[in-house]
Amino acid sequence: MTMQSDDPPAPKVPFKKTRPSKTSSARPWVGKGVSGKPTSGRAWHKKGGGDRFRPSGPGEDLIVLYGWHPVSQALANGGRKLHRLLVTENALARLTSEIGTLRIVPELVRPSAINALLGVDAVHQGLYLEADPLPGSDLDDLPDDALLLALDQITDPHNVGAIVRTAAAFGVAGIITTARHSPNATGVLAKSASGGLEHVPLVVVRNLAESLIDLGKRGFTRIGLDSEGETTLDVVRPRRPAVIVLGAEGKGLRQRTRECCDVLARIPFSGEIRSLNVSNAAAITLYALSPRQGA
């Protein structure tokens, strides 16, 4: 939400004011940004099916976060290494009012400067952050009494981001995803996750079926959400540890994934439409399998 023009001026905090140089012949930005439109800045490249960019100098790949919740949550997460923060005057006032001292010196820019990086359709709310990816988690690091989600080749970053946001709301301990056929945790996905990436670790595995088998050996109940499941979700008891397995829209769960589940459950619909967006289905399932107070 952009603050109105009658908001109080930004507090006196250190910042760098960035203006393009009229004499420079360098081209520091090339390629395409998160929205697919031409940008200026570090070189973008496609890797693993998602939008990421590589710094022009040595170092690992960075990710882009934009919008109030993704950026403010990343700034509050001491485990997230930050590299560059672009802010508008109103956004800076809100940040310093709600967060206080920032972990990085911001660069004060006009909204058009961020539009040039992301495209005019990106809802950035005056905030653009370049940061390192969060440290990866391992399957063995997850607690033995956890509630987990596993994503079987869900590639839409909007859907994955919405699932991450819901998982953060329901206290999911981790989301298992595959190294291939999954979007990177940047750009649109991070915006859709609305800060959830800072609270729910992503566990990237090479083989989802083998990971489900390993979790089964640890005592996890593996619940596959399937429109053709013989069991309805309302009769599945809340339990821990458990992993809820979600398939891509259209394809659903792959056969090998289905074989690794202890139960295949479907949402019992009563209306004419018998399917939901996978992120909506994830929210319903997490609510249905959450322990009830007094139960």
Mean pLDDT by 10 residues, the chain (295 residues): 44 48 31 33 34 35 92 93 96 92 94 92 94 89 93 94 96 93 88 93 94 96 91 88 92 93 92 88 93 55
Residue 20: its pLDDT value, please? Answer: 40
Class of domain 32-131: alpha beta
Residue 201: its pLDDT value, please? Answer: 92
Asked whether the beta carbons of 149 and 224 are under 8 A apart, the reply is no
Residue 227: its pLDDT value, please? Answer: 85
Residue 10: its pLDDT value, please? Answer: 45
Residue 16: its pLDDT value, please? Answer: 52
Residue 167: its pLDDT value, please? Answer: 96
Class of domain 139-288: alpha beta
The b/e string for 200-225 (b: 16+ C-beta within 10 A; e otherwise) is bbbbbbeebbebbeebeeeebbbbbb
The secondary structure element, H or E, covering residue 91 is helix 89-98
The residues facing 204 across adjacent strands are: 177
Residue 39: its pLDDT value, please? Answer: 34
Read off the DSSP letter of residue 186. Answer: S
Whole-model pTM over 0.85: no
Q: Where are the domains of the chain?
A: 32-131, 139-288
